Amino acid sequence: MRFQHSDSWFLSTSLCRWAPGNDSEPPKFIPPSKPVIIDKTQAVATLRKFLSPEFIPPRQRTNPLKFSMERKDMIRRRKILNVPEFYPGSILAVSMADPNATGKINRFVGICIQRGGKGLGATFVLRNIINQQGVEICYELYNPRIQKIEVLKLEKRLDDNLMYLRDALPEYSTVDPDMKPVPFPPTGEVPLNELKVKMRPKPWSKRWERPKFNIQGIHFDLCLVPKQMEHAQKWAQPWQEYDMLKEYDTSKLEQQILSEVQQEMSK
């Protein structure tokens, strides 16, 4: 009796691994469960509360209906094309449909120098140096020719406008076109790159040392004498900081538009 029990017990444990009723036929192969691949490089929807600057309407004497209609169209376009969060100083890759390139897609990689325009005409300029030639392309965010916008490296710089990179040494504007996307976490602060750029000898395209541009990201000590810096301060306009008519507080407007946009996008 004991033998029988032990035999059946032994048999049952071994039979567990195979499919039932398989004494004479070869055991059926059950493939192992497929591994779940979590693609960390794919753009996870940012959990940061970020409102693209082109949503904030400028202070004008126009009917707010115009801005709300524009926002509707912008959201419609954003549902089709995923426009990720990026800042001037981030490295982007843009794929554009080109009628002259025989149906092929034209891909350009570069640093975002400037984000301009409001509403549907919002633009961003990408700069790169290819074969020792500096190239800049101004892309419209909501242009239907744009197929894909990828953020290869999300970064902020000390300034909003990096036009001074035209007069900086070429190493600061070169971006490898085959660069792999650097993974960034969807939560937390955007990394700030406190790089101080070295400039070519003067003359520059604009007098970047003047306080009108308020540039923090150039290493002025290497290219300018303190006397020249003081001379540049002659063009300072310290009263503009106290000008009340130039005040434009967008915090409440931003929160309202952000909640509106998030509601519409989730529909």
Partner 1 sequence: MALPRLSRSFTGLLVETSCLIHQRTFRVSTVAAAIQKLTRVRVVDNSSLGNTPYHRSPRVIHVYTKNGIGKVGDKVLLAIKGQKKKALIIGHKMPGECMTPRFDSNNVVLIEDNGNPTGTRIKVPIPTQLRKMEGDYSKVLAIASSFV
Based on the shown chain and the rule CB under 8 A, indicate whether residue 138 belongs to the binding site for partner 1: yes
Per CB under 8 A, the list member of 13, 100, 237, 266 interacting with partner 1 is: 100
C-alpha distances (whole Å) from 81 to each of 122, 169, 257 are: 15, 35, 20
18 is a site residue for partner 1 (CB under 8 A) = no
Cis status, amide bond into 203, omega within 30 of 0: yes
Minimum CB separation of residue 141 from partner 1 in Å reads 11
Q: Which residue has the tokens 């954003």?
A: 78
Per CB under 8 A, 77 contacts partner 1: no
- CB closer to partner 1, 51 vs 94: 94
The nearer residue to partner 1, 72 or 200, going by C-beta atoms, is 200
> d(Cα 116, Cα 54) in Å, to the nearest integer?
8
Q: Is 96 in the site for partner 1 (CB under 8 A)?
A: yes
Indicate whether 101 belongs to the interface with partner 1 (CB under 8 A).
Answer: yes
**Choice from 14, 205, 237, 251 touching partner 1 (CB under 8 A):** 205
By CB under 8 A, residue 136 contacts partner 1: yes
Binding-site member from 48, 72, 200, 202 for partner 1 (CB under 8 A) = 202
Q: Is 166 in the site for partner 1 (CB under 8 A)?
A: yes
**Min CB(224)–partner 1 separation in Å:** 14
Coil, strand or helix: which one is 74?
helix
Gap between the Cα atoms of 100 and 118, Å rounded: 29
Q: Name the CA dihedral angle for 151, 155, 159, 160, rounded to a multiple of 10 degrees.
A: 30
- Judged by CB under 8 A, does residue 4 bind partner 1? no
Q: Residue 73 or residue 98: which is nearer to partner 1 going by CB?
A: 98
Question: CA-CA distance, 152 to 90, in Å (whole number)?
Answer: 8
Instruction: Name the percent of the chain in helix, strand, coil, to the closest 5.
Output: 35, 20, 50
Helices (H), 17-85: 64-80
- Residues of this chain that bind partner 1 (CB under 8 A): 96, 98, 100-102, 106, 108, 123, 130-140, 143, 145, 166, 202-203, 205-206
